[in-house]
Amino acid sequence: MVRSDASGTRHRAKLTRAPDNGGPAIRNGWETIPPAGNFRAGGAGRVARDSTVSELAGNGYRNLGRPDPARWRHSPVPGHSKRPCADCPSALGRPGAAGHDGAMVQHMGAAHTGGPASLGVAAIACSALTLDHGGGRGVFDLDLRVNQGEVFGLIGPRGAGKTTAIRLLMDLIRPGRGRAAVLGMDAVRDSLAIKRRVGYLPGEPARFPGLTAGGVIALAAGLRGGVDPARIELLAKRFQLDLGRGYEDLDRGGKQKAGLIRAFMHEPELLILDEPTNGLEPAVRPEFHALVDESAASGATVFLSSLVLSEVEQVCDRIGLIRAGRLLKVGTLAEFRSVRMHRIEADFTGQLTPADVARLPGVSAATIEGGHMSCTVRGSVAPLLASLARARVTEMDSHELSLEEVFRSEGGAGTQP
């Protein structure tokens, strides 16, 4: 609240403290607004020292269009977006520093005095998240937790619900019920604050007629603020993208590269990437994997989706299998590999029916045609071998399923278009 006296001097409400619920600071009298260009300390809730606009911007703060310097917020500038406020280099970003007030100076949407990005808060948390598109399509009762600093892969066939889940996290569509939290903030209520802190790659590239690839990236960088042009050049070099080419002249892979640069350019603390390797030529996929590794090493969280397990198993800490909108299983690669599955085929001359094989423990997908039997066995093969011995087996072949085949066996082919 601002008012002017008869001399034209402007005054604002004096803000002294913030309530425990994180709401606005409490007004307690009035104070004179300093002249534009310098902001002077005046107690809790105001800037702790003389700070020009350039100094504030240099420390990662940007004006949200208001004249009051106490409303400056932190923007995701390079090297300054990975950690909660304890790592901020200036007095403005240290809890307990003079003039620090979590309700007035915030760390990219999270109050310095223990905000949503604090250690222990999940990067992504979903509880009974549901959106029914009809016809069995959508996401249903999604319960998922992705920890900070983790690389998580959501794997499933086309139409399994991966893109729907990601769009719900980004508040591009709204759930019918349930809720999602991103960096400790509500995905719907705090949508704008979340988008400031996330690097997002959509499943389908948008159209930008009349712009070059570099122009599209520069547009996004300008809207976001605080992006180092040198980093854009470096990413373009790594992805082998000509920034001078017309964006609409790029093939699917070229547009995917431009999208990945927009997602990685501001070094966000959370990356949400919808099928990031889609359209990328094999020569640049190692660069994407390296960028994921670098982001994780710096403390960022990466949440990505993919159709193919082999595309992400070399970078993910954990993976989740989704089919027909339902999350079937979550675990580490080692946990999935610990459940050994074998494909067994045998020729026999005795009596053996599909029912004889199907009722054996661990056996699935059993078929018998003439004197040939095939099935999949999870765990011990001893019960099957005993049954086959009575059927007078003449020849048998067995091989352990790859992790890709295990996922296909778990998830089926998917039912959604």
In percent, the amount of the chain with pLDDT more than 90 equals: 52
128 in a domain, yes or no?
yes
Given 111, 138, 153, which residue is the final one in a domain?
111
Residue 387 contacts residue 357 (beta carbons within 8 Å): yes
Q: Is residue 353 part of a domain?
A: yes
Indicate whether 100 pLDDT > 50.
no
Count how many Cα atoms sit within 13 Å of the Cα of residue 214 in the half-sphere of its side chain. 13
Asked if residue 281 and residue 243 are part of one domain, the reply reads yes
Q: Are residues 184 and 297 located together in one domain of the fold?
A: yes
Pairing status of strand 61-62 against strand 73-74: antiparallel
Q: Which helix (H) or strand (E) holds 136?
A: none
Supply 285's token pair. Answer: 């996929």
Does 329 fall in a domain? yes
pTM: predicted TM-score of the whole model, two decimal places = 0.63
Same domain, residue pair 219 and 92: no
pLDDT of 76 over the 60 cut: no
Flag the least confident range among 52-56, 77-81, 197-201, 266-270: 52-56
Do residues 248 and 327 share a domain?
A: yes
- Tell me the per-residue pLDDT of 225-276, one tens digit each, with 9 for 90 and over: 999 999 999 999 999 999 999 999 999 999 999 999 999 999 999 999 999 9
Mark whether 170 and 282 lie in a shared domain. yes
Q: What is the mean pLDDT of residues 191-200?
A: 96
Domain-located, residue 116 = no
Rounded to an integer, the average pLDDT of 18-31 is 44
Give the span between the Cα atoms of 416 and 202, in whole angstroms. Answer: 19
Residue 314 in any domain: the answer is: yes
Q: Mean pLDDT throughout 132-159?
A: 94
In a domain, 117, yes or no: no
pLDDT at 186 over 70: yes
Where residue 391 sits, what CATH number does that domain have?
A: 3.30.70
The reply to whether 107 and 6 lie within a common domain is yes
pLDDT of residue 396: 92
Indicate the Cα dihedral angle 89, 90, 92, 94, nearest 10°: 50
* Domain housing 349: 339-411
Same domain, 101 and 139: no
User: Six-digit token pair at 101?
Assistant: 């007030």
Q: Which helix (H) or strand (E) holds 197?
A: helix 191-197
The CA-atom distances, in angstroms, between 173 and each of 78, 104, 131, 144, 194 are: 29, 30, 9, 18, 15
Domain co-membership, 241 together with 321: yes
- Residue pair 303/394 in contact by the 8 Å Cβ criterion: no
Domain check: are 274 and 222 in the same one?
yes
Which of the listed residues 333, 363, 398 is the one where a domain comes to its end? 333
Q: Give 341 or 297, the one with higher predicted confidence.
A: 297
Instruction: With beta carbons less than 8 A apart as the criterion, state whether 171 and 187 touch.
Output: yes
Whether residue 296 sits in one domain with residue 345:
no
Domain membership of residue 173 (yes or no) is yes
CA dist., res. 341 & res. 328, Å (int): 18
What does the pLDDT read at residue 411? 54
- 319 and 305 fall within a common domain: yes
How much is the mean pLDDT over the chain? 75
Domain end, chosen from 275, 309, 333, is at 333
Residue 117 or residue 332, greater confidence: 332
pLDDT at residue 143 tops 60: yes
Which of these ranges, 22-31, 88-97, 114-123, 291-300, has the smallest mean pLDDT? 88-97
Whether 417 is covered by a domain: the verdict is no
Averaged pLDDT for residues 35-58: 32
Residue 101 has pLDDT above 80, yes or no: no
Q: What is the pLDDT of residues 359-416, one digit of tens each?
A: 999 898 899 998 999 999 988 888 999 888 889 999 999 887 766 676 666 654 333 3
159 and 302 inside one domain:
yes
Q: What is the CATH number of the domain that holds 325?
A: 3.40.50.300
**Tally of structural domains, the chain:** 3
Whole-number pLDDT of residue 203: 93
Q: Which residues contact 401 (CB under 8 A, 6 or more apart)?
A: 341, 342, 343, 376, 409
**CA dihedral (100, 101, 106, 109) positive or negative:** positive
Task: Write the DSSP string, 326-341.
Answer: EEEEEEEHHHHHHS-E
